Amino acid sequence: MASKANAGNRYYSGPQSDHFDGRVFFNPNGTPPRGPGDLLRWQFGGGRAVWPATFPSPHEPARPDERVDGKNLRVTMVGHATLLVQVAGLNILTDPVWSDRASPVSFAGPKRVNAPGIAFADLPPIDLILLSHNHYDHMDIATLRRLKADHDPLVVTPLGNDAIVGADIPDMRMTAHDWGEAVEIADGVTVHVEPVHHWSARGMGDRRMALWAGFVVETPAGRIYHVGDTGFHAGVNYRAAAEKHGSFRLAILPFGAYEPRWFMEAQHQNPDEAVAGMMLCNAAFAAGHHWATFQLTNEGIEEPRELLLAALDREKVPRDRFRPMLPGEVWDVPEA
């Protein structure tokens, strides 16, 4: 499905729904993003932890196998929200970012504090990209352009994001979908586009004009639930995912970039909420991401991991079920 723009929305035109008012998208019964005044209050309000200039991963850069087949499921952390998922003979990247900054410009904005966990040249053939939304720490046009040139993958993304990518990379293979829609990728592999509680913008004038989403990947090796960004939203979307899909072998869940809560609660879940989400969606295992690569918010660089482990202990969930992954870390996820 290709998104078409109209006069009020530069990326997408379509019928109204429970999450689209004819011009912009919204979270049903949810919380809209805060305005410029609150942004300034946060930015100048203090309380921002100082991150180190570098935070090297304890893992060496990975050199992935070309394919993983059978019942095997392997996840390799690249950094932030970028993971390589190898399953059912397919190589899948989530929200790929190899650029040095998560920013519209190369000279300013959040800068990597560690190298990507896979060198770009060492990537196996990439078949599929799951592109969750258009924020710069998730949609990196420079990386997508490189992936198009070297791998020509298919990009599955929510409505409107294909228009953004297509403006810069017109020959990128893309399919854009609304919440609740699905696309068959290969024999026995289907990607479902599912709701999360977030928002979108590339600049000051396009807020919520493209949709945001999570993905459920059905495979012969089990179901995978990938969430790029989300507020917890009282667990509504986690419960819906469990009701619709049953359970998951693996959930890929964000657990960083959550402070201060008064500003971030509606858009980024914290470690306690990530553990609750794992349990609500019936995930056997979870790979934690969205931490320790780009400083986006106030918390210290290692705090998300410390709080995640504490939350797991409090809920009596074995620590090896939810990994706070670092660049270069490779996980052969057990069968559920």
For residue range 206-222, what is the model confidence (pLDDT) as tens digits? 999 999 999 999 999 99
For residue range 105-121, what is the model confidence (pLDDT) as tens digits? 999 999 999 999 999 99
* Strand pairing report for 154-158 and 128-130: parallel
What's the distance, CA 324 to chain centroid? 14
* Of 265 and 2, the one with more pLDDT: 265
Q: What is the pLDDT of residue 210?
A: 98
Q: What is the pLDDT of residue 3?
A: 72
Contacts of 37 (CB under 8 A, 6+ apart): none
Asked whether residue 143 carries a pLDDT value surpassing 80, the answer given is yes
Q: What is the mean pLDDT of residues 121-141?
A: 98
Q: What is the pLDDT of residue 336?
A: 83
Structure tokens at 256: 């960083």
- Angle formed by the axes of helices 236-245 and 271-280, nearest 10°: 30
Cα end-to-end span (Å), the chain:
33
Residue of 250, 336, 328, 333 lying closest to 73 (CA atoms): 333
Asked if residues 188 and 219 have their Cβ atoms less than 8 Å apart, the reply is: yes
Provide the residue ranges of all domains of the chain, joining segments of one domain with +.
Answer: 56-332
Q: What is the pLDDT of residue 100?
A: 98
Structure tokens at 85: 């998922």
Asked whether residue 1 carries a pLDDT value surpassing 70, the answer given is no
Residue 244 CB coordination number (10 Å) = 11
Whether domain 56-332 has CATH 3.60.15.10: yes
* Strand pairing report for 322-324 and 330-332: unpaired
Q: What is the mean pLDDT of residues 120-146?
A: 98
Query: What is the rounded CA–CA span in Å between residue 161 and residue 165?
Result: 6
Q: From residue 149, give the alpha-carbon distance in Å to each of 85, 154, 297.
A: 20, 12, 33
For residue range 160-192, what is the model confidence (pLDDT) as tens digits? 999 999 999 999 999 999 999 999 999 999 999
Q: What is the mean pLDDT of residues 31-44?
A: 93
* Strand pairing report for 73-79 and 173-177: unpaired
Query: What is the rounded CA–CA span in Å between residue 74 and residue 251?
Result: 13
Query: What is the rounded CA–CA span in Å between residue 312 and residue 320?
Result: 10
Residue 155 three-state SS: strand
Asked whether residue 4 carries a pLDDT value surpassing 60, the answer given is yes
Asked whether residue 5 carries a pLDDT value surpassing 70, the answer given is no
Query: What is the rounded CA–CA span in Å between residue 168 and residue 265?
Result: 32
pLDDT interval class at 32 (50, 70, 90): very high
Asked whether residue 2 carries a pLDDT value surpassing 80, the answer given is no
Structure tokens at 277: 């989400």
Structural element, H or E, at residue 250:
strand 248-254
Mean pLDDT value across the chain: 97
Query: What is the rounded CA–CA span in Å between residue 321 and residue 83?
Result: 17
Asked if residues 93 and 130 have their Cβ atoms less than 8 Å apart, the reply is: yes
Share of the chain above pLDDT 70, in %: 99
Share of the chain above pLDDT 90, in %: 97
Q: From residue 331, give the alpha-carbon distance in Å to each of 56, 243, 288, 320.
A: 19, 27, 12, 11
Asked whether residue 6 carries a pLDDT value surpassing 90, the answer given is no
